[in-house]
Amino acid sequence: MKAAIGLGLLAFCAAAAMPLAHAQVDESAAQALMKKSGCLKCHSVSAKKEGPSFKETAAKYKGKADAEKALVTHLTTNPKVKVDGKEELHDSLKTKNEAEVVNVVRFILSR
């Protein structure tokens, strides 16, 4: 009995410790919101455009505990970014729904 409880607790702790980027992602919803928000004009999944690819972004944040939080902030606060050597504001996602924003972030981090 103690072994079963111990194994159950171990499984729960292992699942809770998994990075959030591996959580379930609704890919079609993420892609639809990114299209609606104009993200795909400057970004793509694997090719660099004016902005980094989602694959590059995922690699940059790989293993960082604050990756999800940092990207949520980036995609909701209109930070300044450099494009062709000049600074401009990065557009926010076209939603106020936190779950939709997190879904897009998880989509990017899963690349």
Going by C-alpha positions, the residue among 87, 93, 82, 74 that lies closest to residue 31 is 93
Structurally, how many domains does the chain consist of?
1
Q: Please count the other Cβ atoms lying within 10 Å of the Cβ belonging to residue 45.
A: 13
Q: pTM for the full model? A: 0.78
Q: Please report, for the domain that includes residue 87, its CATH number.
A: 1.10.760.10
Range of the domain at 68: 2-109
For residue range 39-83, list pLDDT tens digits in order: 999 999 999 999 999 999 999 999 999 999 999 999 999 999 998
For residue range 83-108, list pLDDT tens digits in order: 889 999 999 999 999 999 999 999 99
Per 3-state DSSP, the chain is made up of helix, strand and coil in percentages (nearest 5) of 55, 5, 35
